[in-house]
Structures are given as structure tokens and as C-alpha cells.
Amino acid sequence: MNRLNTKTLPRSWVAVGISMLMATSAWAQEPAAAKAALNGNAAAGAKIAQSGSAGGAAACVTCHGAKGEGQPGFPALAGQHAGYLERQLNQLAAGARQSAVMAPMAKALSEQERADVAAYYASLQLPIKRVRGALPGKSDDGGAWLVERGRWADGIPACAQCHGPGGVGVGKDFPAIGHLTADYMQSQIDAWNKGQREAGPLGLMGAVAKKLTADDVKAVAAYYQRLHNPAAAAATAKP
């Protein structure tokens, strides 16, 4: 059997391929990783989410909804991996991730409180389910193509390869994205491009963000909406 000679492949393809293999491995190990990451106290985190912290952090529900379902401009938190949420809060507190709204909130929480809040939201049910759409043909829309196949000519892997079928997330490194709005997705793409967020494992998202257009982001969000809420997607598509 012939062996693949990686020396003949573009370096970007090799790097993306390695990242995708790591994502697949993380997906296979996700249940154990989830248990290891839940080192916070969910009950204590629930109190902070509902009422804020003694250190001055506002109640999370004010912006992220009563059950972490998200609101316009603020992402859903329910069901995200505890390790991912805790890391984002720690990065916001340390300044590695920038946000005029969230950085002061994260700084007002102790390290234990950040772990508690992460554990609480991870204990809630993710509002989307694991589902894979049919592999699109070349005549299908760009959102389906990007999510299920990627755009290898530009070194962009399929969203599903890292974020799981239906965008439900894979472990602590690849969050659920299948329920995010196009506006929020675009805001995070902009943050990566401006250096306001860490680029992720092996710098993958930082590199991908530079290659995604605004139309790409809208198409991906619209495709996820059709997967998870076809009735709403149909209503939105009507003239």
C-alpha cells in the first residue's frame, strides 16, 4: 500500500490535517474529559449566575438569559463544556481575551468562582442535538459545504470536523457553535482577526478566521439554523 508523502502537500494542509486528527481524538475522549473539567461547584455557580458575586460581578442571567439560553448580543452558555467556559473566563480575567463587558465581570470573580460558574452552565442542557446533515454537492449552498466539507482550497477544514455534528462541540477545545447567531459568530471572527482572542489549539481558529468572509459566516449560521430549527429558518427565508 502506498504511504502518503506529506512532503508533497502544502504546509497549511498538513497543519490543518493534524489539527483535525486532534479534534477527532478529543471527540472520542470527550466524556472522560468532561468529568475531569467539572472541578467547580455547580450549586455555588448557580447562585452567582442568579444573583452575582460578593466581589461585584453582575448576575450572569442579566445578559445570558435565565437558563443560559443567550440573548441578542450575548451567547448561549447552557451545555458548553466546563473546561471551555472556565478557560474563557480565566483568559478574560487575565486579559488574554478582550471584552469591554465581560472582562470586568471575570476579574470580579475569584478563580474558584469562575470554575463554579463554568460547572453550573455545563450542568444545563445544550439546546441543540448532535446531527449531521447530508453531504452537500457542489451546487448546494456555501454554508452546507463549509460545515460538512470545508473549503480545502483555502485551508479551511469542515466546521463539523472540529465542532462535531450539528456544531454541538467537542471537549474543552471546540465549543458548541450550532446555535450561535451570525452576528455573534462574526463578532468573534473579528476578535480573532484583531488579536483580541487566543487563536485556539495549534492556532487553528486564528488562521481560519482570516479566511472566512462575512458571507461565509452568515451562510454557516443559516445552515445550522436549518439543521436545528427548520421551521424558523423557513420563516426567515420567506420574502
What does the pLDDT look like over 55-103, one tens digit per residue? 999 999 999 999 999 999 999 999 999 999 999 999 999 999 999 999 9
Average pLDDT, the chain: 86
The DSSP letter of residue 210 is T
Segment 123-146 shows an average pLDDT of 88
- The residue among 167, 91, 85, 92 whose CA lies nearest residue 122 is 85
pLDDT category of residue 104 using cuts at 50, 70 and 90 = very high
Class of the CATH-defined domain 142-234: mainly alpha
List the domain boundaries for the chain. 42-123, 142-234
Binding residues: 60, 63-64, 102, 159, 162-163, 205
Where is the binding site for heme c, in residues? 60, 63-64, 102, 159, 162-163, 205
pTM (two decimals): 0.81
Q: Is 2 exposed, middle or buried (0-12, 13-18, 19+ CB in 10 A)?
A: exposed
Fold matches, 42-123 and 142-234: yes
Topology given in CATH for the domain delimited by 42-123: Cytochrome Bc1 Complex; Chain D, domain 2 (1.10.760)
Contact 198, 98 (CB under 8 A): no
> Could you tell me the three cell numbers for 194?
484583531
* pLDDT band, very low/low/confident/very high, at 117 (cuts 50, 70, 90): very high
- In three-state secondary structure terms, 180 is coil
